[in-house]
Amino acid sequence: MPKKTEPLHPAIKTRLGYEPTDSDAEVLADWKKRTTKICKPCWELKYCPYGPLVEDFPLMPILREEASSHNEYLKSCLASGKLGDGRPLDEEKRKWFNEQVAEFNSADYPDSIPQVLKDAACRMFGHVCPVFFVAEPLTETKDLRNQSRSIPRDVMLKVVRRDGQICQACFEPVPDDQVEFDHIIPYSKGGTNTADNLKLVHRECNRRKGNSLEEILAPDPLVHYIALVRKNARKPKA
């Protein structure tokens, strides 16, 4: 039985610039189109081209479970008169905590965030990447993308989603600016730029792989022979 899709919370629509009454299907279809046509530029550039501008773009609201947990923390601080680290709760913070608890409404927070919107957010800072707001991907054809990039953007996104943005070499989370794609069968050996021949890795893990291969593989026989000849030529004659 297919999993039932949860309604899109009004807070999510508002953060993205939609009206709360806009159709869930239309909002999600719009974002699926945006995130399928282009990918985060930091995956290819290895740095964020937007810089501090990222902070002017929306953050997804925190989840209801997280918000409720924080509200319980505020209540515990008010009851004990202490912060979580043991410091005393001063009057200014007590007043602010009381206001937060009084105004809290769990219904203001979503139970979940659709995966397509999670994918659009920066893994480091959390803001939705500006590229999905300011770029014009809908005029870019699939053929043009395939000609201009060795790995098509839709394939990059598919691999990142499949691997959960976890490095397949060290199994640690991969920040957006360290995303690289490793060919299982090397491209030079006939490997393809398809999702089933690619895996997500850290930049450093990808470099280490290259170094380890150089250490493991025997040197080219001709290069090895020339090196020996040069080494022997440098030896002083008896």
| Residue 83, domain member (yes or no) | no
Amino acid (one-letter) located at 100: Q
Checking if the pLDDT of 159 tops 70, the result is: yes
Q: Is residue 196, in this structure, part of any structural domain at all? A: yes
- Which tops the pLDDT comparison, 228 or 201? 201
CATH code where residue 230 lies: 3.40.1800
Token pair belonging to 196? 């089933």
| Domain membership of residue 221 as a residue range | 141-238
Query: Does some domain include residue 55?
Result: no
Judge whether 4 lies within some domain: no
Q: What is the signed CA dihedral for 113, 116, 121, 123, rounded to 10 degrees?
A: 90
> pTM score, two decimals?
0.57
Q: Give yes or no for a contact between 30 and 119, defined as CB atoms under 8 angstroms apart.
A: no
Q: Please state, in angstroms and rounded to a whole number, the distance separating the CA atoms of residues 53 and 33.
A: 23
CA–CA dist 213, 47 (Å, integer): 27
> For 29-83, what is each residue's pLDDT tens digit?
988 888 877 778 887 777 788 877 777 888 888 899 999 999 999 999 999 999 8
* Inside any domain, residue 74: no
H or E stretch at 172: none
Total domain count, the chain: 1
CB 77 within 8 A of CB 90: no
Token duo for residue 185: 């069968």
Cα 33–chain centre separation: 18
Q: Is 133 inside any structural domain?
A: no
Task: Collapse the DSSP code of 59 into the 3-class scheme (helix H, G, I; strand E, B; otherwise coil) and give the result.
Answer: strand
**C-alpha pair distances (Å), 218 with each of 186, 222, 224, 226:** 18, 11, 9, 15
Determine, yes or no, domain membership for 223.
Answer: yes
